[in-house]
Amino acid sequence: MSDAVNYQDLARKYGFAPKLESASRLTQLVARQDADVDEIAKVINKDPSLKTRLLRAANPDAENEAEYSVETVEDALIRNGVGCAMVLAMGTPLAMALIKAFQTMLSLNLESIDRHQAMPIDGEHMLGTIGFNGKVVGSVYLRMSIEDARNVAATILGLSAGEMQDTSEIRDVIGELLNIMTGNFKSNLCDAGLECKLEPPDVKVTSDLETPVARGSGLERMAFKAGKIQLFVDVTANPWMDD
């Protein structure tokens, strides 16, 4: 993959906002803790992608917009809290970082898909986790089936899937993918004024599908697809933690 591919190119292709004005502005507002909901709503209403995702998060059981019971940004903020808006803003650079990692490491076009339309993970799967702390404290969770993890690892190493039977080797490769993905994520957060440090990645095989959400934290759940490969990414964050 050519180094000429950049975030702006990927953003145009996959519909993510190429700049972080919304995240930066929301950071300033949410950090005050007494920010006016109307101020926050104005920022979100100017960002169509962020507005769409906030309304989707406020209507978790709806299959489509026609089933939404919460229809305005203001009502969504009241229902989910302003911290949720901050997490959603952070989801943009995370998604962009993941897409770029797949482009550069696997030469695969990763695209965002509706989580409701994705084939759910069942039983044992690969889970990679990286925590971050600083002005925002939270974690990034990357899930995929063991078969998909094997195919991803084999592609990165230039091997066939049949040569990737050692799960410890697969975990190492997925951990490196996490490092690269969250490294780009961290860079984007810092650019938006959210200085943070990353913890080492933890990759394991598990059947636990729950994503722990600490009190005061928000959660965004995303799904991606590249060919037959599916990935699920959750990000949790509390924007009001001490440095």
The answer for 6, left when phi > 0, alpha when psi is -120 to 50, beta otherwise, is beta
Q: Is 243 domain-assigned?
A: no
**pLDDT number for residue 239:** 62
Q: Is 217 domain-assigned?
A: yes
Q: Please tell me the distance from the alpha carbon of residue 55 to that of residue 165, in angstroms, as a whole number.
A: 42
**pLDDT number for residue 153:** 92
**pLDDT number for residue 127:** 96
Q: Is 151 domain-assigned?
A: yes
Is the CB of residue 231 less than 8 Å from the CB of residue 143? yes
User: What are the CA-CA distances from residue 37 to residues 115, 187, 199 (Å)?
Assistant: 28, 28, 33
**pLDDT number for residue 10:** 40
Q: Please tell me the distance from the alpha carbon of residue 74 to that of residue 44, in angstroms, as a whole number.
A: 10
Is the CB of residue 231 less than 8 Å from the CB of residue 224? yes
Q: Please tell me the distance from the alpha carbon of residue 169 to that of residue 163, in angstroms, as a whole number.
A: 11
Give the count of domains, the chain. 1
Q: Is 144 domain-assigned?
A: yes
CATH code of the domain in which 92 resides:
3.40.1550.10
**pLDDT number for residue 188:** 65
**pLDDT number for residue 240:** 57
Q: Is 94 domain-assigned?
A: yes
User: What are the CA-CA distances from residue 238 to residues 84, 85, 154, 173, 226 (Å)?
Assistant: 9, 11, 35, 29, 30
Is the CB of residue 163 less than 8 Å from the CB of residue 169? no
What are the 10-residue block averages of pLDDT along the chain, 243 residues in total?
38 44 71 75 86 82 84 87 74 79 86 83 93 83 94 91 89 88 74 77 93 76 90 81 47
Q: Please tell me the distance from the alpha carbon of residue 173 to that of residue 154, in angstroms, as a whole number.
A: 9
Q: Is 196 domain-assigned?
A: yes
Parent domain of 189: 7-238
**pLDDT number for residue 122:** 86
Q: Is 2 domain-assigned?
A: no
* E strand segments, 135-217: 137-145, 196-198, 202-206
